[in-house]
């Protein structure tokens, strides 16, 4: 299997306000709309996105096959 593209990275944060300040104000990244209801922010860098998500104690690992391509979605969260 060859990785041909990376669309986004999800970064778990404990303080969304501080993370928004760093990614938006200090790094100057462009914030984009996100259709999700749980706390978080998305930033666009060309064709790539950074997704900031507030730690909420969930754990997900899944593998999706779409149109013959394999899309791997991995998300780890330390549940405290």
Q: How far is CA 35 from the centre of its chain?
A: 13
50 close to 8: Cβ distance less than 8 angstroms: yes
Is pLDDT of 58 > 70?
Answer: no
Per the structure, the complete domain to which residue 69 belongs is given by: 8-75
The CATH number assigned to the domain holding 45 equals 3.10.180.10
User: How many other C-beta atoms lie within 10 A of the C-beta of residue 42?
Assistant: 20
According to the model, what pLDDT value does residue 73 have? 55
Assign 79 a pLDDT band (cuts: 50, 70, 90).
Answer: very low
Tokens of 50: 């950074």
Flag whether 3 is in a domain.
no
pLDDT at 41: 94
Q: Is residue 53 part of a domain?
A: yes
Looking at the structure of the chain, the number of domains it has is: 1
The pLDDT of residue 24 is 92
Can you tell me the distance from the alpha carbon of 75 to that of 72, in angstroms, rounded to the nearest whole number?
10
Q: What is the pLDDT of residues 7-48, one digit of tens each?
A: 888 888 878 888 899 989 998 999 999 988 888 999 999 999
CB 54 within 8 A of CB 40: yes
Q: In the prediction, which pLDDT does 3 show?
A: 77
């Amino acid at each position: 299997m060859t990785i041909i593209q990376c669309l986004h990275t999800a970064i778990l944060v404990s303080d969304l306000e501080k993370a928004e300040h760093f990614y938006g104000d200090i790094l100057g990244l462009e914030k984009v709309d996100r259709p999700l209801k749980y706390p978080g922010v998305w930033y666009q860098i060309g064709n790539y996105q950074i997704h900031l998500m507030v730690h909420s104690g969930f754990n997900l690992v899944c593998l999706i096959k779409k149109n013959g391509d394999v899309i791997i979605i991995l998300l780890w969260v330390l549940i405290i």
